[in-house]
Chains A and B, each alone.
Chain A
Amino acid sequence: QSVLTQPPSVSAAPGQKVTISCSGSSSNIGNNYVSWYQQLPGTAPKLLIYDSNKRPSGIPDRFSGSKSGTSATLGITGLQTGDEADYYCGTWDGSLSAVVFGGGTKLTVL
């Protein structure tokens, strides 16, 4: 059981937009920045978003992040088949004194 809650799966057609939610509490998302990671099959995670809404260099602006209260959202526009992957949110939890992740969301591009 993960501290942060993500939907197990989402799907959309190529070219469409999808959002992935990440729900937490005041001890984690509510008072800390959120990061998002993409994990392609058989590979290591890759940073997509940090500080809740910033993109590292090299990450296309099709990927966006937002945070409101104790929830965060990853948005992906112009979906491509290459976006099929598992997506994870992560942040610090002050009550647990630990980094926490969501359970992951599998994106299928139909």
Chain B
Amino acid sequence: EVQLVESGGGLVQPGGSLRLSCEASGFTFSSDWMHWVRQAPGKGLVWVSRINSDGSSTSYADSVKGRFTISRDNAKNTLYLQMNTLRAEDTAVYYCARAIRPGYAGFDCWGQGTLVTVSA
């Protein structure tokens, strides 16, 4: 069964840092492009970042560029999102998602999400 499981969310103060993890199973993780998508409470989906299969190429939404870093460890089947200088507006459920095919902006598998709350 194809599965993505996020972890690492929690309560953090403004200006703080947090690292999210997404453990993949049931498919060849090292072949797939991966993304992070977030959803603020009661709001819609917002794309955050993506990484190619070997980790050599990344891209970010303007709202997180310079503060967030996406990475992956294919030996551990795990995707990461390092979030620094967090702001209140970063409060959201963060989902990792698998791209249907390389370079494609559609996602066929999503994790259950992990909640990040940025508050003093």
Contacts and interface: CB of A to CB of B under 8 A. Distances in A.
Which of B45, B61, B111 is most buried by chain A, counting CB atoms within 10 A of its CB? Answer: B45
A88 B97 CA distance: 15
Interface of A: 2, 32-33, 35, 37, 43-47, 50-51, 56, 88, 90-92, 96-104
Contacts, number: 64
Given A88-B45, A102-B44, A47 B107 contact: yes
Given A50-B100, A56-B108, A90-B105, A44 B95 contact: yes
A35 B107 contact: yes
12 contacts: A33-B105, A33-B106, A44-B113, A45-B95, A46-B110, A50-B108, A90-B45, A91-B105, A99-B35, A99-B47, A99-B105, A101-B45
Nearest to A93: B105
B47 A35 contact: no
